[in-house]
């Protein structure tokens, strides 16, 4: 049977009909229809909690649906689906966090548990394994060697290996969950090339992304989910970013200009940093932060941005220089910072921000322990009040404080991380990549929250790689390069290009 | 899966988990009462409670080491050494009872401090640190006692701790109940309890929330060692004996009790009430073997198998999270 004939066959690759799912109580998916053809690039979009991840989990057998029909290549899949069954059928998932084994070679990863054996012997035929792997790599024209060790590869290359792994297991449906979130634009372009190759081979690609331009450029069809229901399926000609967003959130967003006006604040100085240095991380950092100001910190990953804000919050020590907070000398230290009105939203939510196996209440309570404690004891009632307040403030779903944070969607997890600070008497909020991996609606909410805080006089330091985000919500931008402030945008017009150029060291009239 | 049992992990779930544990306990009691008619007699039950007391007291503090993501293997040796030190102070140095016991307690707390400091500041895994402590504490006990079984002759007040009764119940039961309740309150309703859970659940996140993971962990080991010391004092008084290998292996009974009770050895969750039920079960199992007049050489074999069955039953009614696809994904990508 040729790939072509299969691609033309009327039987859909995947057909889901009236899928229903609830974990505990509320419906996460209701009556969702979803179908995919062979050789189709299909984008699945929706806000946080719209049910995208759940749908994927049902298809891949990570969780079971409550009701509804599911057919793969025309064959029905029972309610009791499993991950193994999905793999056998040819459904492969490329997760955000990659599942490769470090310390092993590309070939070893590709052939894990299916290693070719020496004839008649229980030993692995390493030569054969490597050559088979290399064949596969070459067939897709990747610049990889079968003997490369995973640790030596970039994130994009590792993702390529993941895809190869799927191809090697004869997958006919490849699911990618936010594949470009950690890629540079060049790497993303390469990935798109690969996705198109998969399509040509008759493989269906189901693609979740929050980046509208990607969805627009790549997809043959788009399925939009909202609040656990299918809202629309758009054909190629109907795909317009504006329309998708409107369908996703049911409200129209303004066109975002790429040119933004910086405005210098003349309000009182909240934080003054003088010559702050930390060996090998950053040096000679000077800046002032005013009340109600959103100070953006741009620069490439590794420019010292994260290290600087960690030092300001007091997680890591600094070597020299000084910090003044509210007009007084300030020795940063986490507990003191929190008492003093600091808030900190770390860059890696799952690793640093949340305690997944603990309830929303517990997550919020631990940060606000100074508020809810009376002597050495903790007031459960006050803690619950705080949790309810945070849930209400940020419209966290589900609005049940006893839910384990690990069970929330990415956007709602991030709301917990932000929310636990908002209920405090906050003066300075440090945020590091606050909107990575959350959808556009939750991003908007996040930006509005920051704007509201700034209006209320809270100063915000925003570290971001997202240039539209950085230029749009910052009042002033510092660009770091190799641990130093290379450029400050404090007035006039700024575009994303200006910031990117400065980050890369291209400055008109030399460095400041 | 035990992880949901701590902080507001859903009332129904918690209730079910508790019921399950009770169910297994009742099942065990039913089996034992069939095996030996003497089992359900009041006399025997209060005997069990006596032996449960030592494990229960140890559990009340030990539990903080797994909750913070560590383990304290030195508690068994600490129990034996505490009895020996208390005896030396009272009967050889002739200190009055109260200061002698306090001094013993201070020693125990110091041992915990050393365990905690070495674990956190020198970054030696707690398994290794406390295994070393287990060995050197046993060494001290052997050295001080000359390896002899010492019969504790007095003082009278001291002996009455173990054998005395109040309102018809042995005093060690009151000690245990007070310590279990105190530990329950400490875990659920104090700043330290919250911090211990947070450190075990996600150290980085806890740190960013202003928790000092090191001091939280150190305190966990201090408490663990402290309660082991109390258990040692009670045991010495109860048995009127001090002997270096006395409580050898008790650390495993304690681990068994807390794990049966739903405390995760991976940190971030724990239940003191569950640990108490676990301790009662461990006590029942040991007691049952005695009642059946089974040769002592069979005890470990049977105990091990029964504990294994209890643990499987405890997990089996609802699948543990790692077997449950939904939960697994929820912790990861969402």
- For residue B244, is it within any domain? yes
Q: What is the enclosing helix (H) or strand (E) of B76?
A: helix B75-87
Q: CATH number of the domain that B84 lies in?
A: 1.10.3470
Structural domain count, chain B: 1
Average pLDDT of chain A is: 84
Q: Both tokens of residue A77? A: 């899949």
According to DSSP, residue A506 is labeled -
pLDDT in tens, A441-496: 888 888 999 999 999 999 999 998 777 788 889 999 999 887 889 888 888 788 77
| pLDDT score of B17 | 58
Measured CA to CA, the distance from residue B195 to residue A19 in angstroms comes to: 42
Count how many pairs of residues, chain A against chain B, have C-beta atoms within 8 Å.
Answer: 136
Domains within chain A, CATH numbers bracketed = 3-90+172-249 (3.40.50.300), 257-341+426-512 (3.40.50.300), 357-424 (no CATH)
Task: pLDDT band for B13, please (50, 70, 90 cuts).
Answer: low
Out of B194, B198, B204, closest to residue A351 by CB: B204
pLDDT at A314 over 50: yes
Q: Is B184 on the interface with A (CB under 8 A)?
A: no
Which chain B residues are within 8 Å of A53, Cβ to Cβ?
Answer: 329, 333-334
Highest mean pLDDT (candidates A156-170, A196-210, B125-139, B146-160): B125-139
Mark yes or no for CB contact A356/B195 under 8 Å. Answer: no
Interior CA angle at A93 toward A89 and A96, to 5°? 170
- For residue B2, is it within any domain? no
- For residue B138, is it within any domain? yes
| pLDDT score of B298 | 81
Angle at which helices B11-35 and B272-291 pack, to 10 degrees?
Answer: 10
pLDDT at B116 over 80: yes
List the one residue out of B65, B46, B76, B95 whose CA is nearest residue B235: B76
Task: pLDDT band for B158, please (50, 70, 90 cuts).
Answer: confident
pLDDT at A253 over 80: no
- Scanning B249-278 for CB atoms below 8 A from A yields 268-269
Q: Is B14 on the interface with A (CB under 8 A)?
A: no
Which chain B residues are within 8 Å of A351, Cβ to Cβ?
Answer: 202, 204
Q: Write out the DSSP string of A117-164.
A: BPTTSSSB-HHHHHHHHHHHHHHTT----TT-BGGGS-HHHHHHHHHH
Domain that holds residue B150: 24-31+43-317
| pLDDT score of A274 | 92
Beta strands A41-46 and A204-208 are: parallel
Please return the burial class of A404, using the count of CB atoms within 10 Å of its CB with bins 0-12, 13-18 and 19+: buried
- Scanning B197-236 for CB atoms below 8 A from A yields 197-198, 201-202, 204-212
Which chain B residues are within 8 Å of A378, Cβ to Cβ?
Answer: 189-191, 193-194
What is the average per-residue pLDDT within B68-88? 94
pLDDT in tens, B95-107: 999 999 999 999 9
Between A387 and A301, residue with greater pLDDT: A387
- For residue B274, is it within any domain? yes
| pLDDT score of B48 | 81
Residue in chain A closest to B207 (alpha carbons) equals: A334
| pLDDT score of B22 | 80
pLDDT in tens, B172-183: 989 999 999 999
Buried/exposed B61-99: b ≥16 CB within 10 Å, e otherwise: bbbbbbbbbbbbbbbbbbbbbbbbbbbbbbbeeebebee
pLDDT at A259 over 90: no
What is the average per-residue pLDDT within A252-264? 60
- For residue B273, is it within any domain? yes
| pLDDT score of B153 | 81
Peptide bond into A18 cis (omega under 30): no
Which chain B residues are within 8 Å of A442, Cβ to Cβ?
Answer: none
Chain B closest-CA separation from residue A206 CA (Å): 16
Average pLDDT of chain B is: 84
- For residue B181, is it within any domain? yes
Which chain A residues are within 8 Å of B193, Cβ to Cβ?
Answer: 378
- For residue B334, is it within any domain? no
- For residue B37, is it within any domain? no
Out of B9, B192, B325, closest to residue A402 by CB: B9
Which chain B residues are within 8 Å of A409, Cβ to Cβ?
Answer: 334
Cβ pair A363, A416 in contact under 8 A: yes
Measured CA to CA, the distance from residue B118 to residue B111 in angstroms comes to: 11
Write down the number of H helices and E strands in chain A. Answer: 18, 24
Task: pLDDT band for B198, please (50, 70, 90 cuts).
Answer: very high
Residue in chain A closest to B186 (alpha carbons) equals: A377
Q: Both tokens of residue A494? A: 């700024």
């Amino acid at each position: 049977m040729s790939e072509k004939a299969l691609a033309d066959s009327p039987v859909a690759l995947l057909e889901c009909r009236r899928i229903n799912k609830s974990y505990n109580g509320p419906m996460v998916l209701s009556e969702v229809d979803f179908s995919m053809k062979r050789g189709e690039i299909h984008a699945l979009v929706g806000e946080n909690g719209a049910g995208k991840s759940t749908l994927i989990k049902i298809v891949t057998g990570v969780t079971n649906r409550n009701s509804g029909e599911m057919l793969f290549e025309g064959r029905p899949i029972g309610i009791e689906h499993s991950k193994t069954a999905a793999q056998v059928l040819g459904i492969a998932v490329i997760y955000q966090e990659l599942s490769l084994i470090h310390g092993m070679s590309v070939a070893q990863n590709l052939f894990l548990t299916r290693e070719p054996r020496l004839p008649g012997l229980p030993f692995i035929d390493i030569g054969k394994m490597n050559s088979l792997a290399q064949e596969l790599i070459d067939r897709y024209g990747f610049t990889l060697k079968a003997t490369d060790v995973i640790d030596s590869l970039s994130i994009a290359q590792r993702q390529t290996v993941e895809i190869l792994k799927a191809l090697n297991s004869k997958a006919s449906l490849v699911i990618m969950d936010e594949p470009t979130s950690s890629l540079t634009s060049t790497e993303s372009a390469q990935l798109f090339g690969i996705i198109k190759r998969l399509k040509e081979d008759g493989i269906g690609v189901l693609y979740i992304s929050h980046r509208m331009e990607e969805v627009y450029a790549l997809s043959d069809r788009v399925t939009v989910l909202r609040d656990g229901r299918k809202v629309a399926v758009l054909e190629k000609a109907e795909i317009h970013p504006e329309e998708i967003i409107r369908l996703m959130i049911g409200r129209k967003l303004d066109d975002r200009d790429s040119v933004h006006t910086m405005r210098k604040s003349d309000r009182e100085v909240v934080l003054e940093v003088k010559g702050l240095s930390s060996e090998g991380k950053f040096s000679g950092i000077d800046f002032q932060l005013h009340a109600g100001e959103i100070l953006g910190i741009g620069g490439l990953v590794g420019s010292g941005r994260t290290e600087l804000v960690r030092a300001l919050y007091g997680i890591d020590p600094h070597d020299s220089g000084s910090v003044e907070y509210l007009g007084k000398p300030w020795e940063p230290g986490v507990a003191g910072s929190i008492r003093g009105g600091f808030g900190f939203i770390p860059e890696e939510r799952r690793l640093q921000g949340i305690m997944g196996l603990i309830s929303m209440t517990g997550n919020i309570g631990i940060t606000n322990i100074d508020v809810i404690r009376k002597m050495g004891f903790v007031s459960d009632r006050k803690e619950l009040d705080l949790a309810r307040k945070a849930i209400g403030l940020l419209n966290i779903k589900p609005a049940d404080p006893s839910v384990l944070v690990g069970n929330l969607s990415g956007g709602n997890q991030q709301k917990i991380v932000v929310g636990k600070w908002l209920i405090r008497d906050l003066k300075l909020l440090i945020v590091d990549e606050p909107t990575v991996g959350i959808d556009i609606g939750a991003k908007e909410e996040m930006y509005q929250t920051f704007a509201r805080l700034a209006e209320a006089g809270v100063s915000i330091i925003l570290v971001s790689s997202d240039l539209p985000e950085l230029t749009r919500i910052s009042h002033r931008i510092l660009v770091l390069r190799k641990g130093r402030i290379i450029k400050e945008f404090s007035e006039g017009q700024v575009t994303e290009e200006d910031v990117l150029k400065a980050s890369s060291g291209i400055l008109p009239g030399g460095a400041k | 899966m035990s992880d949901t049992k701590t902080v507001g992990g859903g009332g129904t779930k918690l209730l079910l988990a508790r019921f399950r544990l009770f169910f297994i306990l009742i099942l065990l009691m039913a089996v034992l009462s069939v095996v030996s008619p003497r089992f359900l007699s009041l006399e025997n039950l209060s005997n069990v409670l006596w032996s449960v007391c030592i494990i229960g007291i140890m559990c009340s503090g030990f539990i903080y080491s797994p909750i913070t993501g560590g383990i304290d293997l030195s508690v068994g040796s600490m129990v034996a050494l505490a009895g020996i030190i208390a005896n030396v102070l009272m009967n050889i140095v002739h200190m009055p009872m109260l200061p002698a016991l306090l001094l013993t307690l201070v020693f125990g707390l110091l041992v915990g401090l050393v365990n905690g400091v070495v674990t956190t500041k020198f970054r030696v895994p707690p398994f290794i640190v406390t295994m070393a402590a287990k060995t050197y504490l046993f060494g001290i006990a052997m050295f001080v006692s000359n390896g002899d079984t010492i019969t504790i002759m007095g003082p009278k007040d001291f002996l009455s701790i173990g054998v005395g009764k109040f309102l018809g119940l042995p005093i060690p039961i009151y000690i245990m109940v007070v310590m279990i309740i105190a530990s329950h309150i400490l875990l659920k309703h104090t700043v330290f309890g919250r911090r211990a859970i947070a450190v075990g659940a996600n150290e980085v996140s806890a740190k960013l929330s202003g928790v000092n993971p090191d001091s939280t962990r150190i305190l966990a080991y201090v408490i663990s060692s402290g309660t082991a010391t109390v258990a040692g004092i009670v045991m010495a008084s109860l048995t009127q004996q001090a002997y270096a290998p006395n409580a050898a292996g008790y650390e495993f009974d304690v681990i068994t009790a807390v794990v049966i009770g739903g405390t995760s050895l991976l940190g971030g969750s724990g239940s003191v009430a569950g640990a108490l039920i676990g301790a009662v079960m461990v006590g029942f199992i040991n007691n049952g073997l005695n009642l059946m007049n089974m040769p002592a050489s069979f005890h470990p074999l049977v105990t091990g198998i029964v504990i294994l069955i209890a643990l499987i039953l405890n997990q089996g009614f609802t699948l543990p999270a790692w077997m449950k696809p939904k939960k697994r994904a929820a912790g990861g990508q969402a």
